Structure 1
Amino acid sequence: MINEYISDIRKLFSYYKSVGEKAFEQLDDNELFWRYNEHSNSIGIIVNHLWGNMKSRWTDFLTSDGEKQWRNRDLEFESVINTREELLNKWNEGWVCLFNALDSINKDNFNTKIYIRNQEHSVIEAINRQLTHYTYHIGQIVYLAKMIKEDKWKSLTIPKGKSSEFNNDKFSRGKHGGHFSEKS
C-alpha cells in the first residue's frame, strides 16, 4: 500500500507540474511577469512562492519542521524573478526537492510524524496538504495564462465545446477507460 500511494502521488505531482509547464510554454517572456494590478501576483511571483514552499517543506522532510527558519515567505511574494530562465530554474529546483523527498519515503519511515509550523501530521496528511496547495497555485497560473492569451489560449485538456467530439473519438478508437465498455 505504501509503494502504491507514493507511486500514485508522484504521478499526481508530475501531472500538475506538467500542467504548469504547458501554461508557461504558451506565454512570451514578459507575460510570465504580467500582473493584473499592484496587489496581484504574476506567474513569476507564484512560481517564486511555490519554490520557497517546496524548498522549506521538502528539505529534510522526515526529520525537521516543514517551516524552516531560513525561509523568507514574505520575499516569495515580491517580483524577484526577472527572466524565464530564472523562473524555470526555481520551478525545477523546487520540484527536484519534492521528488527527492518522496523517493526517501519507505515502509520503515512511513509512520514518521511530520511537523509543519509545529503541527503534527502523518506522512499522508503532509503530502496531501502540499498537493492541494500546489494545485491551487497551478490553477492560478493556468487562469492567469488563459487571461493573458485570451483567444490565443490553447486548452490544456478537452477544449470548450469539444466534449462530445472527444468522447465520440475516444469510443470509436476503443479506448474506454474506467469500467465502461461499448456495451455499457
Structure 2
Amino acid sequence: MNKSLATDFLSTAIKRLKYYKDLGEKTFAQLEEADFHYSPGPESNSIAVIVQHLAGNMLSRWTNFLEEDGEKPWRQRDEEFEPHSYSKKEVLALWQKGWDCFLGALEALSEDDLIKTVHIREEPLSVIDAINRQLAHYPYHIGQIVYLGRMIKRENWHNLSIPKGHSLQYNQSGGVKDPAKNYEK
C-alpha cells in the first residue's frame, strides 16, 4: 500500500472517530443522571446500555488487536444489553475506557499494519476493513445516543451541528466546514 495513502487513511479515520466521540460527549454533557437510563420502549436501549455495548465492543475488538481474535472469550456481549444502575460517572468511565483502548490501538498502528490480516469471530479481514467496520458501527450507535438525547431534552436541546434554518449562514461563514478537520490524529 502506498505510504502516503495509508497514512492519510489512518489519520482521517482517527479524526472522524474523534469527532463522533465528541458528539457523544456533547450529548452526555446535556443530560442528567436519570436521562442515561431513559428508554423509549420495552425493547429499546437506553444511553447507558448503548455505552455498555460500545465499551464492550471496543475493549474486545481492540485489546491486543493485531495478535488476538477481536471477539474475546471474556466478552459477555449479551450482558452488554442488560440495564444496570450505573451512575452517570460510571457510564462516562465505561465510555472513556472503551475509547482509550480503541484510539490507543489505532494510534499505535503503522502504515505496514494496515495490510495485515486480523480476525473477528475467527473470520479473517484486513486491518483496513476492521477500521471501516468501526467507522460504520460506532457512529451508528452514537447517532442513537444523540437521538435519545434530543428526545429527552426536547426544546432544551443544544444543537450539535448546523441548526435548522441556518445552513446558508453556516455555508457563508468563515472557518473549517468539516468538523472532523478540527481534530488531531
Asked whether the two chains share a fold, i.e. TM above 0.5, the reply is yes
Q: Which ranges in structure 1 are unaligned for 5 or more consecutive residues?
A: 179-184
What is the one-letter code of the residue matched to 1:154? H
Q: Does 1:110 align with 2:123?
A: no
Q: Which residue does the alignment assign to 1:73?
A: 77
Structure 2: which amino acid aligns with 1:148? I
Letter in 1 for 2:56: G
Distance in structure 1 (CA, Å) of the matches to 2:138 and 2:42 = 23
| Letter of the structure 1 residue corresponding to residue 24 of structure 2 | G
1:87: which partner in 2?
91
Structure 2 CA distance, aligned partners of 1:165 and 1:6? 32
Mapping for residues 31-180 of structure 1, pairs under 5 Å: 31-168=35-172, 170=173, 173=174, 175=175
Deviation at 1:164, TM superposition (A): 1.9
Q: Is the 8 A contact 1:32 1:84 kept in 2?
A: yes
Q: Which residue is equivalent to 1:2?
A: 6
More helix as a share of residues:
2
Residues 171 and 177, structure 2, Cα contact 8 Å, conserved in 1: no
Partner of 1:13: 17
- Number of the residue aligned with 1:182: none
The one-character-per-residue Cα deviations of 1:43-68 (angstroms, maximum 9, x if unpaired) are 00000000000000001111111111
Structure label with greater radius of gyration: 1
Q: Secondary structure at the match of 1:109?
A: helix
How far apart are the structure 1 equivalents of 2:176 and 2:129? 33
C-alpha RMSD of matched pairs (Å): 1.5
Indicate if the aligned counterparts of 2:115 and 2:128 stay in contact, CA closer than 8 A: no
Count of matched residue pairs: 174
Task: Extract unaligned runs of 5+ from structure 2.
Answer: 179-185
In the aligned structure 1, how far is the partner of 2:108 from the partner of 2:158? 37
TM-score (norm 2): 0.89
Q: Report deviation, 1:29.
A: 1.1
* Runs of 4 or more above 3 Å deviation: 175-178
1 CA distance for matches of 2:110 and 2:134? Answer: 19
Shift of 1:81: 4.9
The share of aligned pairs that are identical, in percent, is 47
| 1:80 Cα deviation after fit | 2.2
Q: Residue 25 of structure 1 aligns with which residue? A: 29
Q: Secondary structure at the match of 1:22?
A: helix
